[in-house]
């Protein structure tokens, strides 16, 4: 079996999900370390145009895996299509972005092939001819180096932001594109998905915010949201929150930052009582400056903070509001 790496890029409704470039960058890095050739695949009802877009990058080959049954997305069809393809052309390593769609089908695909997925990786190491993948555990408090103990193909997914998409190397010439038609049985698809929709009134656009004050579980009670709001008002900042706060209805869903909410990159992100679960971090780690206030000195938010304040937010925030007001008043 030739040892190759296959990056499966993600397309939705005929458009390439930009996070796929990050996985190409990751694949190029693994290829450079191992010497294994790198290929890519696009899966969809008509994958050729995206395959052409992907083929501009430095890749040995791009496959367009096609069947009319791949639109709309279902885990049954995607798993069946890729299983068929990977069984005839088994690579050593299959890489994908850790998107909601990939999470939905890749454990099924690997299981159908008697294989495993090292999911949500943030990096890899190639030491003494061995490949290990680094992933976060315990909500980011610890990291683990994980190896495959099974036969190839090995499956790994990379966390959003683990590699830089703009660093995907372009090829000297376009990579050859091969279209592969797969057969999917009519009764193989059991789920009937309806149209994708956005919940009404996404009134708040935090993606353009310059300064964000965000609250997490540490705020304890709904009535305490007010001191965060006062601080946000004093700073002229937008108020945002981690998921549990919006789940509780303490702030509306459109103020949620993270994988299921908005992804932001303000000049300043002030995190109050946010522990820094991975799902939150992916939505805000692009912020230019991060200030975190948390009473737990081991909270993962401090890993990415520029300024750390270990302490009770209820002690810290009230004098901070006063100082900010004084400063604004020119004092």
Partner 1 sequence: MKILVCMKQVPQKDAPLKLNETGAWIREDVSYEVNEPDAFALEEALRQKEKHTGEVVVITSGPARAQQVLREALAKGADRAIHLEDNAFVGFDAYNTAKAFAAAIKDEKFDLIFTGLQSDDYGYAQTGVILAELLGWPHATIIMQIEKTDAGIKVKRELEAGYFQFVDMPLPAVLTIQSGINKLRYATLIGIKNAKNKPLRKVALAEVQSAVGENLQKIEKLYVPQKTKKTEHIEGSPAEIARKLVDKLRNELRVL
Q: Which of residues 247-286 bind partner 1 (CB under 8 A)?
A: 247-248, 253-254, 259-263, 267-268, 275, 278
Residue 179 or residue 260: which is nearer to partner 1 going by CB?
Answer: 260
* CB 188 within 8 Å of CB 37: no
Whole-number CA gyration radius for the chain: 22
What is the crossing angle of helices 225-235 and 313-328, to 10°? 20
Which residue's structure tokens are 């890729």? Answer: 82
Sign of CA dihedral 214, 218, 222, 223: negative
Residues 81 to 120 in contact with partner 1, rule: CB under 8 A: 99-101, 103-105, 107-108, 111-112, 115-120
Residues 11 to 70 in contact with partner 1, rule: CB under 8 A: none
* CB 309 within 8 Å of CB 302: no
Choose, by CB under 8 A, the member of 15, 18, 164, 328 that binds partner 1: 328
Which residue's structure tokens are 């068929």? Answer: 84
Binding track, positions 122-141, relative to partner 1; x by CB under 8 A: ----------x--xxxxxxx
**What is the C-alpha separation between 240 and 253, in angstroms, rounded?**
9
* CB 166 within 8 Å of CB 21: yes
Options 26-34, 46-54, 146-154, 167-175: segment touching partner 1 (CB under 8 A)? 146-154
Options 47-55, 57-65, 161-169, 292-300: segment touching partner 1 (CB under 8 A)? 292-300
- The distance of closest approach from Cβ of residue 52 to partner 1 in the complex, given in angstroms and rounded to an integer, is 25
Options 34-42, 58-66, 169-177, 192-200: segment touching partner 1 (CB under 8 A)? 192-200
258: left (phi over 0), alpha (psi -120 to 50) or beta: left
* DSSP assigned state of 170: B
Can you say how many angstroms the Cα of residue 203 is from the centroid of all Cα atoms in its chain? 24
State yes or no: residue 166 binds partner 1 (CB under 8 A).
no
Residues 305 to 324 in contact with partner 1, rule: CB under 8 A: 305-311, 315-316, 318-320, 322-324
CA proximity to 146, closest of 138, 8, 156: 156
How many alpha carbons fall within 13 Å on the CB side of residue 230? 15
State yes or no: residue 222 binds partner 1 (CB under 8 A).
no
State yes or no: residue 303 binds partner 1 (CB under 8 A).
yes
- The distance of closest approach from Cβ of residue 233 to partner 1 in the complex, given in angstroms and rounded to an integer, is 13
- The distance of closest approach from Cβ of residue 178 to partner 1 in the complex, given in angstroms and rounded to an integer, is 28
State yes or no: residue 205 binds partner 1 (CB under 8 A).
no
């Amino acid at each position: 079996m030739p040892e190759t790496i296959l990056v499966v890029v993600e397309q939705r409704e005929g458009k390439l999900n930009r996070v796929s470039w990050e996985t190409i960058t990751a694949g190029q890095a693994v290829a450079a370390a191992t010497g294994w050739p790198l290929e890519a695949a696009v899966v969809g009802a008509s994958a050729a145009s995206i395959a052409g877009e992907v083929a501009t990058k430095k890749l040995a080959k791009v496959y367009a895996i096609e069947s009319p049954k791949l639109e709309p997305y279902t885990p049954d069809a995607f798993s069946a299509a890729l299983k068929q393809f990977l069984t005839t052309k088994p690579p050593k390593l299959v890489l994908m972005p850790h998107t909601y769609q990939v999470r939905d089908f890749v454990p099924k695909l690997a299981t159908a092939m008697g294989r495993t997925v090292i999911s949500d990786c943030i990096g890899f190491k190639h030491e003494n001819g061995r490949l290990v993948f680094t992933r976060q555990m315990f909500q980011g408090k610890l990291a683990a180096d994980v190896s495959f103990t099974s036969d190839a193909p090995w499956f790994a997914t990379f966390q959003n932001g683990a590699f830089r998409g703009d660093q995907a190397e372009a090829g000297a010439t376009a990579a050859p594109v091969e279209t592969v038609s797969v057969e999917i049985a009519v009764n193989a698809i059991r789920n009937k998905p309806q149209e994708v929709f956005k919940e009404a009134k996404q009134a708040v656009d935090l993606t353009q915010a310059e300064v964000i004050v965000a609250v997490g579980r540490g705020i304890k009670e709904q009535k305490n949201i007010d001191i965060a709001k006062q601080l946000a008002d004093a700073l002229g900042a937008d108020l945002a929150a981690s998921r549990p706060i919006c789940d509780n209805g303490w702030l509306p869903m459109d103020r949620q930052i993270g994988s299921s909410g908005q992804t932001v990159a303000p000049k300043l992100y002030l995190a109050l009582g946010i522990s820094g679960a991975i799902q939150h971090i992916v939505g805000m780690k692009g912020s230019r400056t991060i200030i975190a206030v948390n009473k737990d000195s081991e909270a993962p938010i401090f890993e990415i903070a520029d300024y750390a304040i270990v302490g009770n937010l209820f002690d810290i925030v009230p004098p901070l509001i006063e100082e900010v007001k004084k400063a604004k008043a020119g004092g």
